[in-house]
Amino acid sequence: MEPLILPAGIALHGSTGGITVLMVEVPAELLELTRGAARISVLTGAGMSAESGVPTFRDAQDGLWAQYDPMTLATPEAFADQPDLVWAWYAWRRHLMTTIEPHAGHRALTRWGEHAAVEVITQNVDDLHERAGHHVLAHLHGSLFSLRCFDCDLPYDMPVEVPTQQVERLEPPLCPACLGHIRPDIVWFGEPLPVPAFERAEQSVTEADLVLVIGTSGAVFPAAGLPLLARANGVPTVEINPVPTELSHETTLNWRITAGAGLPALVSALG
Ligand code: OAD
């Protein structure tokens, strides 16, 4: 069956004092699906963080990192060849996280979680859901804030230098056990996903009453397979994304809206 595509339903209303108020009308079909859901599984991608100021993975990078393609930096081969370059890029990304905040969409999910079981599965390596007060069930692609040894995998929890300016080279710390280089505990291209996190995610999407797919292009598997798994198990799926994606034809409803505009409106409408 063809998915139902819902218009964003955003209206701009001028109000006194020159303040523009954003009114979002939540489509009735979406409200009907969400009202009856006690357990909601939410898969988020880079678009969930975009309105906090984190560029999406495939967006252009700024400053000195503009010359590098993230797809070539985020590989074990790049780290093995140039650990100081890759470490400097991640150090910069960690610094960026200290300059941004969760947005209204993150906070809306947290509020929803006070009334229903809202299980967040994220492909994002930032900590914006957590900083909005929402426990993350599964960080499918790891976390910027978790570190381990590239050689022996030993977790590393010592403080690390976070430069406040872009630098192109920064030596990673060395593992106290084997003197290997310390790396971010992130899933790089060509690496497998953490099995326990993926199993939690599979269980969540198959047992949920509803799956929301927010801000992901659906281009990277196996994460992109989770909405398909939900659908195969008869669980309705809703995509929240301003533009169509590779998953749009596979989801029950598509709401063309940003996470920061749509989620607060949806959660308020649920009451
Ligand atoms: P992408 O950058 O591929 O896709 C971001 C999606 O977010 C696009 O479909 C945008 O239309 C959408 N989007 C942008 N702004 C939005 C907003 N304000 N609200 C809602 N949606 C918005 O990011 P991902 O799908 O997350 O993996 O990419 C998946 C994985 O690809 C990443 O986790 C990364 C990369 O390979 C690893 O690093 C392992």
What is the count of structural domains for the chain?
A: 2
Residues 20 and 68 in one domain: no
Mutate to test the pocket of ligand 1, among 56, 122, 139 (most ligand atoms within 8 A of CB): 56
Q: Nearest C-alpha to atom 3 of ligand 1 is from which residue?
A: 217
Ligand 1 pocket check for 242: Cβ under 6 Å: yes
The Cα 263–Cα 30 span in angstroms is: 12
Residues 154 and 41 in one domain: no
Residues 6 and 119 in one domain: yes
Residues 38 and 74 in one domain: no
β partners of residue 182: 149
* Residue 181 is among the residues annotated as catalytic for this protein: no
Helices 104-112 and 259-270 pack at an angle, to 10 degrees, of 30
**Digitized pLDDT (tens) for each residue of the chain, 271 residues in all:** 566 676 666 555 444 455 555 689 999 999 999 998 999 999 999 999 999 988 766 676 777 888 888 888 999 999 999 999 999 999 999 998 999 999 999 999 999 999 999 999 999 999 999 999 999 999 999 999 999 999 999 999 999 988 888 899 999 999 999 999 999 999 999 999 999 999 999 999 999 999 999 999 999 899 999 999 999 999 999 999 999 999 999 999 999 999 999 999 999 999 8
Residues 211 and 257 in one domain: yes
Residue 271: predicted pLDDT: 86
CATH code of residue 84 = 3.30.1600.10
Residues 227 and 121 in one domain: yes
pTM score of the predicted model: 0.91
* C-beta atoms surrounding 143 within 10 Å: 17
β partners of residue 10: 24
Which helix (DSSP H) or strand (DSSP E) does residue 13 occupy?
strand 10-14
Q: Which domain, by its residues, includes 79?
A: 55-99+144-186
Residues 135 and 68 in one domain: no
State the closest ligand 1 atom to the C-alpha of 44, by its place in the atom list counted from 1.
Answer: 26
Residues 63 and 178 in one domain: yes
Residues 17 and 82 in one domain: no
Q: Nearest C-alpha to atom 18 of ligand 1 is from which residue?
A: 258
Expressed in angstroms and rounded, the spacing between residue 121 Cα and the centre of ligand 1 is 14
| Choice among 95, 141, 181, 249 that is catalytic | 141
CATH code of residue 211 = 3.40.50.1220
Expressed in angstroms and rounded, the spacing between residue 7 Cα and the centre of ligand 1 is 21
Listed residues 153, 186, 219: the one ending a domain: 186
Residues 35 and 159 in one domain: no
Residue 60: predicted pLDDT: 64
